Amino acid sequence: MIRDVKFTKMHSLGNDYIVINEYQGIKIDEDLKGEFSRKVCRRGFSVGADGVIFIQRAEDKNCDVKFRIFNSDGSEAEMCGNGIRCFSRYVYERVLKKNPLYVETLGGLRICEMDTEGDKVRSIRVYMGKPKFQLKDIPMVVEGKREEDVFLNEYLHLKNNILDRIKLSVVNVGNPHAVIFLEDNGIDMDFVRKNLEVLGREIENHEAFPERINVHFVETLGRDEIRMISWERGVGYTRACGTGATASAVVAHKLGKTGDKVVVHLDGGDLEVEIKENGAYLKGDAVLVYDGILREAL
């Protein structure tokens, strides 16, 4: 039985998390983290959230702290753009007064720069690393393609009765993403919202993606502006996805649809993505909602 676990509820653009500070010691045993996350993320029956974030001591000597995140289905994700901003604010205000913060993640090093006012963090700019496009980095398996190939604005065949194929691109920005531009598929946002459950779930679990994938439907609004709806791997529909915003902006830039600075409009609000030679940068806020105690966690 796991009792009296202190936690903090945070969100970024409505993408919400349960944050547990394990910097001074493990609170949830490793073999229970998945089950714990499934239980406490269940809305209406527990705290409810899109995921659980654990703050731990870094194992990499070049990093200050370690970020881990579990989805609401209990699976562990490599990275989360909105989650790492919540993590960074918590760490700066309550664990380590360090800026920038070098963060160890399963998706690689992330560097988080805080814009502060006094002791409070107002916004966070995250170095998201260099995007990877080769199929081996997604991973994606496509007949006739090698693992060193890319998949950009090509058709993926589906088995539902809504669309028999969809044109998409894949990229890894610490975790894998499929980016679908509405204008290249002859669909609009109303169509996406109506059919998101079917299309999002099928693409996430498509046989081409042995480790599943995050799915984003994107509308290009101009050279510096896109709109996005997200279906997150292991979660489903979410109001916002930071890595998804990064992936969508990166792919839009690579396809020549946008410039190197893009505002991404999500259902939960806006994020800013900047693409440089050394990689992509994501900027947005993070909100601390409340502290609590789980009297009976498992």
Quote the domain boundaries for residue 235.
135-277
Token pair 């610490």 in the structure block, residue? 174
Same domain assignment for residues 111 and 160? no
CA–CA dist 212, 203 (Å, integer):
8
Same domain assignment for residues 122 and 200? no
Cis peptide before 176 (omega within 30 of 0): no
* pLDDT tens per residue across span 145-193: 999 999 999 999 999 999 999 999 999 999 999 999 999 999 999 999 9
Residue 206: what pLDDT?
A: 98
Residue 11: pLDDT band by 50, 70, 90 thresholds? very high
Same domain assignment for residues 150 and 210? yes
CA distances from residue 107 to 7, 42, 174 in whole angstroms, order as listed: 24, 26, 4
Same domain assignment for residues 187 and 246? yes
Residue 125: pLDDT over 90: yes
Task: Tell me the whole-structure pTM to 2 decimals.
Answer: 0.90
Residue 296: what pLDDT?
A: 83
Find the catalytic residue in 41, 63, 112, 241: 241
User: 173 exposed, middle or buried (CB, 10 Å; 0-12, 13-18, 19+)?
Assistant: buried
Same domain assignment for residues 182 and 200? yes
Encoded tokens for 120 = 């409070």
Contact assessment for residue 202 and residue 167, using Cβ atoms and an 8 Å cutoff: no
Q: State yes or no: is 41 an active-site residue.
A: no
Residue 298: what pLDDT?
A: 73
Same domain assignment for residues 145 and 266? yes
Q: State yes or no: is 63 an active-site residue.
A: no
Same domain assignment for residues 141 and 273? yes
Residue 259: what pLDDT?
A: 97
* pLDDT tens per residue across span 59-103: 999 999 999 999 999 999 999 999 999 999 999 999 999 999 999
Quote the number of domains for the chain. 2
Say which CATH number the domain at 199 has: 3.10.310.10
Same domain assignment for residues 27 and 155? no
Residue 2: pLDDT band by 50, 70, 90 thresholds? confident
Same domain assignment for residues 51 and 168? no
Find the catalytic residue in 63, 80, 86, 112: 80
